[in-house]
Chain A
Amino acid sequence: MGSHSAAFAHSLQGWTAGLPILGATPLWIWAFLSALLVIFLLALPFGGIATYVERKVAADIQDRIGPNRVGPIGLLQFFADAVKMLAKEDFIPRGADKFLYNLAPVLVVVGACGAFAVLPLAKALVGADLNIGIFYLVAVTTLIAPGMLLGSWGSQNKWSLLGGLRGAAQIVSYEIPVALSILPVVLISGTLQIGSIVEQQGWVWQGEMMKNYHFWNMFHNPFTMFSVFILFVGGLAETNRIPFDLPEAESELVSGFNTEFSGMRFGLYALGEFCDVFVMSAMVTALYLGGWQVPFLNLENMWVTLPSGLIAIIHFSMFMAKTLFVVFIVMWLRWTLPRLRVDQLMGFCWKGLMPIAFFNVIGTALWMWIFHGKSMMQLVMGQ
């Protein structure tokens, strides 16, 4: 485990071995390039396409058509947007603190894109399956909070500052219910490694007889059914999506923490936000919805032997289908719910989510103790 990107770098080096300059390139450059490739092939297009999908979903919900000019059914709209952002004047407000103003979007993007390294896209497709995977994911996304705070301070605008302060306070507060809803999964799986967590959510077939009825962690016990929703709601708040979009509440704060940002820096903020939404949805999928596991099937141990490439593709599509469904719910909520007030936001976190999350952790621990770690499914099937 954990060496897939290295294997990729090795094969890159292998393919180019005969070529004049590329052949002499050391392995670590290939490793670096393959890491870059993951970001450019995954994070950037996702950020772009997400803006298109978001506008289409919004249009559908409001009974409009949405973007339809650039390319077939407006599909290339995100490309036009990117070109527009790149071509805009590189503008820094006169009173702004230049260092902070430049640093902030970078922190946000690093925080959001860094998390892609541990996302298990398929069984054989994960950047680095660290054995502290889920812990790393929580750690690297914390970089977003200082990014927002510093950017809002650096742009010397009171609306920005209010937005940034709200955003940081919100992220720091909602991190706790999110972490507490990750804990039940760790209790169940006994590991922090995301690949292993996903692997344990599949059914194990052996010949004709089904040996092990493991299923998605969401259905492991009654408590995890609640904690998946807390994780989702907490994730919504951490990514500043409606109904928790107070940091950029456009009806009160102009555009919140990114008011003064334009051009590519604004683009970085937007990219970071969309990547963050994807990472959050992928986290929900991997921890509770079985990740790349196909429900009720174990592709590697079936009555027919599938080629490994096909299995990888099916796993990948399964993971993307689940994750994008969660992303769709996020967009759906945006056009359905009104925004919370600040005091409601904090009250909801500390008085609503936190006690339930604690209850879930203790409940799951008790369940694991009483039923010796068996899931509901296993108990029903009489294992």
Chain B
Amino acid sequence: MDVDFPREIHDAIGDGAIMENGMKLVLLLAQVMTLVSALVVVLHPNILYATIFLLFSFLGVAVMFVFAGADFLAGAQVIVYVGGVTILVLFAIMLTQWLYEAKLKTTLMKGLIPFIVVMGALGPILIKETLKLSDSVSATPPEKMGEFAALAKTQLIGQALLGNYLLPFEAITILLLGALVGAVWLARPE
């Protein structure tokens, strides 16, 4: 098989071709779920529902991360987005709407120009370029992919954060501290 799942998935599914197809089906479903949920996020008139489907979209992306050998990132994605961002957004919605009138509609007319921009110009160009790019990218040799799948990635990420990427890592910590203080200051009671 030319596909390299992360080691745990490989261990769990054994060698059966049917199992392998089953796992691919899971990935396909995750991709479909990501896109369909994102579509609901964009189009649903009720902002609360949009947020809930954003949650499902995040979960789909997390599954995609697992299949790309980024299990640590999948965990971080779920913790930060599902446990953090979604809860924050839900809180903001519940604090800023009248209790039982959570509907804020996107007026369709206002959506028309963005629709033309996205579907008429941006979309076709980007999709075309993406397809061209993914065809032109030379595939990694299978043995290198196998090596990558076998790496202990959590450790490598840790080493990278304290090695090559020390400066951005420290910058991020300062940014987070600043964001924390700033958010508390902005949302302080009168």
Contacts and interface: CB of A to CB of B under 8 A. Distances in A.
Contact of A10 (B14, B71, B84, B87): B14
Contacts of A172: 83-84, 87
Interface string B123-155: 000000000000000000000000000001010
B33 interface: no
Nearest to B77: A139
Contacts, number: 96
B13 interface: yes
A168 interface: yes
Contacts of A95: 100
Interface residues of B, number: 33
Contacts of B154: 131-132, 192
Interface stretch (B16-24, B105-113, B169-177): B16-24
Interface in B70-100: 71-72, 74-76, 78-79, 82-84, 86-87, 90-91, 94, 99-100
Contacts of A1: 11
B91 A165 contact: yes
A169 B87 CA distance: 9
A182 to B, nearest CB: 12
A227 interface: no
Given A3-B11, A132-B75, A142-B79, A27 B19 contact: yes
Contact of B52 (A103, A138, A140, A168): A103
Contact of B78 (A100, A103, A140, A165): A140
Nearest to A144: B83
B22 A6 contact: no
Q: Is the interface of B mostly helix, strand, loop or mixed?
A: helix
A175 B55 CA distance: 19
A205 to B, nearest CB: 28
Nearest to A140: B78
B86 A6 contact: no
B1 interface: no
Q: Is the interface of A mostly helix, strand, loop or mixed?
A: helix
A92 interface: no
A237 B164 CA distance: 39
A150 B54 CA distance: 14
A143 interface: yes
A31 B99 CA distance: 45
A252 B72 CA distance: 41
B50 interface: no
A103 B48 CA distance: 14
A28 B16 contact: yes
A10 B91 CA distance: 46
Interface in A1-30: 1-3, 5-6, 10, 26-28
A6 B82 contact: no
B58 to A, nearest CB: 11
Contacts of B75: 132, 135-136, 138-139
A27 B18 contact: yes
Nearest to A35: B12
Contacts of A153: 48, 90, 94
What 4 A-B pairs are tightest by C-beta distance, nearest first?
A142-B83, A139-B78, A3-B11, A28-B22
Interface of A: 1-3, 5-6, 10, 26-28, 31, 95, 99-100, 103, 128, 130-132, 135-136, 138-140, 142-143, 145-146, 149-150, 153, 156, 158, 161, 165, 168-169, 172, 175, 192
27 contacts: A10-B14, A26-B18, A26-B19, A28-B16, A99-B49, A103-B52, A130-B8, A131-B8, A132-B71, A135-B72, A135-B75, A139-B79, A140-B78, A142-B78, A146-B52, A146-B55, A150-B52, A153-B90, A156-B100, A158-B99, A161-B94, A161-B99, A168-B90, A172-B84, A172-B87, A175-B83, A192-B154
Interface of B: 7-8, 11-14, 16, 18-19, 22, 48-49, 52, 55, 71-72, 74-76, 78-79, 82-84, 86-87, 90-91, 94, 99-100, 152, 154
